[in-house]
Amino acid sequence: MTDDHVYLSLAEASPEPEGEGRWAYGTGFADPLLGVDTAVPPGLDGADLAAYCLMLGDDALVLAQRLIEWCTRAPELEEEVALANLGLDLLGQARQLLTRAGQADGSGRTEDDLAYWREDHEFRNVRLVEAPNGDFAYSIARLLLFATARGALYEGLAGHADPVLAAVAARGVKELAYHREYATAWTLRLGDGTPYSAARMQAGLDAVWPLVEELFTAHPVELRVGVDPAVLREPVLRSVAAVCAEAGLTVPDVPGLAAVGGRAGRDGVHTEALGPLLAELQVLARAHPGATW
């Protein structure tokens, strides 16, 4: 073989259609809900279901982006792999939820339309997930809170009337259990480690805390088609408090970050951190509209 381009060489070695070498390129199958019944079940409002899937999907997409930012920057290679794995789980959940949102509202928008072609004020994620990564302790504190709360929420959604949402939640419960276990282990290691690591972990927890309350603040759409997040508040905070107690950390007692005129992430009112995050997330798709590979 004379061609020194590795992918062209692969193509020559394994031509279509029998070639398993196609693995190197990806496929034309892009729909994460391939062949799944798209009808909205009777009794559910399609617009509400779409808005709800967008909220949960945006939470997962934005936190996935933050977790993946740790690649090449984590303190250990193993933690980079771990954080990227957790991000991949969330990205998979986001793909299904955004696809479901585009089906349920009748717009036919794809996951890519929704991920790459919306502006920051159209995103419906809670502000907790968009905050910059901070140090490792901050990222771990955020993950602990998010994974505990999202795992509990998915438990409540596993029997949802919408079969797609129910299926995403049923599998998500198990994935989030791993996320929570990972965050718990690091919270214990850092909190119950040296005085310096404990101080850093406490600072991370303190800095995350103002963004936590929004996880338990219901938007009307959540009350109509989802689980009221307010009911998760007590069990989730109790669980996090147990981790803090074991780690020798103090549960912060600080007020939540104020909403803007009663509006926050679920209404599209975000912190200034979301814009730059989306710029990086969306730049390739916007520079080359419609590109495929």
By CB under 8 A, the count of residues binding another protein is 62
| Min separation Cβ 26 and another protein, Å | 7
Q: Is 196 exposed, middle or buried (0-12, 13-18, 19+ CB in 10 A)?
A: exposed
Chosen residue from 33, 101, 128, 212 binding another protein by CB under 8 A: 33
**Among candidate residues 35, 65, 114, 72, the one with its CA nearest the CA of residue 273:** 65
Determine if 172 is a binding residue for another protein (CB under 8 A): yes
- Choose one: 45-53, 119-127, 177-185, 197-205; the region binding another protein (CB under 8 A): 177-185
Chosen residue from 10, 11, 170, 218 binding another protein by CB under 8 A: 170
Within 8 A by CB and 6+ apart from 199, the residues are none
Q: How far is CA 269 from CA 53, 113, 126, in A?
A: 18, 20, 9
Of the two residues 35 and 108, which places its CB atom closer to another protein in the complex?
A: 35
- Choose one: 3-11, 133-141, 180-188, 195-203; the region binding another protein (CB under 8 A): 180-188
Dig out the tokens for 47 from the structure: 């617009």
Dig out the tokens for 206 from the structure: 């303190």
| Min separation Cβ 199 and another protein, Å | 20
Dig out the tokens for 291 from the structure: 């590109």
| Min separation Cβ 219 and another protein, Å | 21
Determine if 180 is a binding residue for another protein (CB under 8 A): yes
Could you write out the DSSP letters of every residue in 146-168?
HHHHHHHHHHHHTT-SSHHHHHH
Determine if 73 is a binding residue for another protein (CB under 8 A): no
Chosen residue from 121, 238, 263, 288 binding another protein by CB under 8 A: 238
- In degrees, rounded to 5, the angle at the alpha carbon of residue 38 between the alpha carbons of residues 37 and 44 is 115
Scanning the chain, the segments in alpha helix (DSSP H) are 6-13, 46-68, 77-104, 111-116, 127-130, 136-157, 163-191, 195-208, 220-225, 233-247, 274-287
Q: Contact positions toward another protein, by CB under 8 A? A: 17-18, 20, 22-23, 26-30, 32-36, 78, 81-82, 85-86, 88-93, 95-96, 148-149, 151-152, 155, 163-164, 166-168, 170-172, 174-178, 180-182, 184-185, 188-189, 232, 235-236, 238-239, 242-243, 245-246
